[in-house]
Structure formats: C-alpha cells, structure tokens
Amino acid sequence: MTAISIVESVRSGAAAPEAAVAASLARIEALDGALEAWVHIDREGALAAAAALGALARGEIENRPLAGVPVGVKDIFDVAGQPTRLGAGAFAHSSPGTDAAVVARLRAAGAVILGKTATTAFAFQDPAPTRNPWNREHTPGGSSSGSAAAVAAGMVPVALGSQTVGSVLRPAAFCGIVGLKPSFGRSSTRGVFPLAPSLDHVGIFATTVADAALVLGVIAGPDPADPGSVEAPLDDYLAAATAERPTPIIGFPRAFLRDAADDEVAGHIEAAAERLRAAGATVKELDMPLRPREIFDFGQPVMRAEAAAAHAELFAANRDVYPPRFRDFAAAGLQETAVAYLQARVGLHRLRWELLRRLEGVDALLLPVAPTTAPRGFATTGDPVFCAPATYTGLPAIALPSGLGDSGLPLALQLVGAPFAEAALLGVAAWTERLLGFQARPPLG
C-alpha cells in the first residue's frame, strides 16, 4: 500500500481507516521478530486514533491529506504518550507529554502514529539491532535504520527519520526505497533530540517519490518556536511529483564519484547517466570543488563541537555508560577549539557557494548515495561520504532505488537540488523514477 492509495480509499469510503492500520500491525507482528525495526508499538493508541478518524464526518476526512496513513517515527522524535529512548540506555530515556512539531503536523493531517522505530544510539554510529530486509546479514544503514527497514518491509508506507550527514539517504539506498532530505530549515526540528543542530534535518522514507512529496507537503513550513526553521515559500509538492515535466538538465561530476565509489556503484551511476541522456535529458559533466573525503572531513569539527555541546550536561553525568563510538566522538568535541569550529563553518559556507555555482543552469546534480551497497556485518552502518555535500550545505537531496547489484542488494542514485527548490527536485526525481522503473521488493513473506 502506498500512502496515496490509502488516502484515496479512506476519503472515498472504500476502506475504513482501521484497515490500513490493522494491516500494518499484522505485518509488523509477522516480520519484526527477524528485522527489529521497531522499539515501541502503540497498538491500542493507533487503533483508537484510526477509529476516531473513521467517526469523523466525510468533509472532515477529505480535508486531511494523510487520512488513515500509518507512520513510523524514529526514536529521537518526541511522540506524546510514547517513550523516547534515543537508542541508548535508561539514563537517556524520557516520557514526553507533547509531540515533536512535525509529528503534531502528521497527526493533524490524519496520519496514525504506530510507534517508534530503531535508531543508532543518539543518531550516531553505534549500530542499532535492525537488519536489512534484503539480506539480514547486511546493515540497513544508520542512523534511521528502523524507519528505512520498516518502509522497505512494507510495515508502513512512510516513516520519519533524521539526517546529520547521511542518515536518511544512505538507509534508503541500502534498503531499496526513496529517501528525501529537504533543505535545512524546511521542516521544524523542535522535539527532535539534536546531534549537531546546524546540520540536523528531518527526512522522509517512502516507497515512491509521490508519497514522499505528499508527506513533505504536511511537515514543511516554518515553526515560530524553532529558530532553525526558515520562512520560505511553500509549493504543491505532490503536484510537482505527479505532473509531466520537460526532460531535465543534469549535472554529473564523473571524476568525483570515481574518486570514492567502488567499481560496481560507479559503473551503475554512469550507466544511469547514459539512460537519462538516452531518454532526452541533458547530462553536463562538471567538476566538484573538493574530493569526496575532503568534503566529509571538512564538516567534522562542526559535528564534533555541536554534538559535545548538545550532550554537555547528560554526558558529564553519564560518560561511562555512553555507547563507545559516541563517547569518543563527544570527548573529541569537548577538545575542539573555537578557531577550528569557526574555520570549518566558514569553509562550509564556501562549499555551499561553490555548489550553488555548479547548480546554475542545471536542474539537479547526479551523485551516488554511498560508495558501496550495504556492507555485510554490523561493525559499520556504511559510509556517508557522498551524502556530506548536500547535508553540510543544507541543499535538498533525494535517494532513488535504481537497480540491484551482483549481491542482490539495492543500488541507488542521489539527486541534489537548489535550496528550497524541493518542488523542482521532486519533479526531476519523479521523471527519473518513471524512467528507471524500479519495482523490486525484499524477499519477505
């Protein structure tokens, strides 16, 4: 079920809101013992919310763009009445009485919050228990591992995650689904536990570009209580993702991808560029201002210092029981100098300017999402190096499933757009999605 098909059924009266919720709960019960995508399920609350929606007058339901859609929420977002555990020990748990701003918008739009999905500890690198639905011996990516796996396995049609470097795009790519990271500030992060506040983005997982666009239309917009949200014009994102559009102009930094991607991924992206060109797109080869690893390293002082600041009080009281990778990262952040932090901030502003120059005259940049398909084992959640350019500069980006590798694991491509031009990016993504025609799903019951 797609979110759009659920909404159409509920609005027309062809199905009760409880139907999609019950189907999702049944799917979770059948599959999650093996995948561990969820850390909390609010079965009674979800069924009650669906029943309350079904009791509304037809006109009220028709005004709710996500009527009856079951949604999973990464467990760093506050959901009233559900625990927030942050993927960490009891010292970090809380019981919020209010929703995160974007969760409140989902509820107001008629979505039904099923529960909380697994995250790596504090949305960093210490892995969650979640397994990849395509092959349980491989990582689903991080840090939004549970949200990506839940959507890929058909447990929910859409889910929320967050990205500070690559934690929406990479899990989406590894799990063979769509991952949308809007521009920085497009959606409120109020009620989302921070990792690095100047880099944290709310993101969306879905099986189609149109579903991601539908959810963006609900959660986008400024929040007066969030100083990081931006007052920028909004568009009809669903219309942009479903309308016919001219063939796009794509910027393609071939040498950049060859610098860090393995042969399979690099060859796949090059073949995708040729398919775009053969379908009528203009593909312009261009350079990038820095090499992939240089860009990734450039933003690390910002991440370290801001993570240490966000955790200062909690870390001081609980350092010994922090997960090991985050403990080392926060400790390094406490040693970061103001000079290094400010130099990195200036460098990221320069990088943004350079990328905006490259976006002049093109509709999107074409990049890989990750250097490889999902790695085997759970010592790593994968390499976010190709996600860093868009995240560090706050540009919107989307991951699209685009094929299967020799291992049977998903391959994906990334499209990066201009700031606050999500409508244009979604239009290009939908055009590309139709061209690629990826329909494969994980081999699950």
> In whole angstroms, what is the distance from residue 162 CA to residue 142 CA?
10
For the four alpha carbons of 28, 29, 30 and 34, in that order, the dihedral sign comes to: positive
Active-site residue, from 9, 24, 143, 147: 143
Q: What angle do CA 109, 111, 114 make, to 5 degrees?
A: 155
> In whole angstroms, what is the distance from residue 299 CA to residue 427 CA?
30
Active-site residue, from 9, 24, 74, 116: 74
Structure token pair of residue 11: 């609005």
Structure token pair of residue 40: 């909390």
Q: How many residues does the chain have?
A: 445
Residue 83 burial (10 A CB sphere; 0-12, 13-18, 19+): middle
Active-site residue, from 145, 167, 183, 188: 167
Beta strands in 164-305 (DSSP E): 178-181, 201-206, 249-252, 282-285
> In whole angstroms, what is the distance from residue 168 CA to residue 159 CA?
10
Structure token pair of residue 367: 């990049």
For the question of residue 167 being annotated catalytic, the response is yes
User: Residue 214 is inside which H or E element, if any?
Assistant: helix 209-219
Beta strands in 67-219 (DSSP E): 70-74, 112-117, 158-163, 178-181, 201-206
For the question of residue 116 being annotated catalytic, the response is no
For the question of residue 407 being annotated catalytic, the response is no
Expressed in percent and rounded to 5, the helix, strand and coil fractions of the chain are: 45, 15, 40
- Put the strands of the sheet holding 158-163 in their side by side order: 38-41, 112-117, 70-74, 158-163, 201-206, 178-181, 397-404, 410-416, 364-368, 249-252, 282-285
> In whole angstroms, what is the distance from residue 413 CA to residue 178 CA?
10
> In whole angstroms, what is the distance from residue 386 CA to residue 260 CA?
8
> How far is C-alpha 370 from the chain's CA centre?
14
Say if residues 211 and 158 touch (Cβ distance below 8 Å): yes
| Enzyme catalytic residues | 74, 143, 167
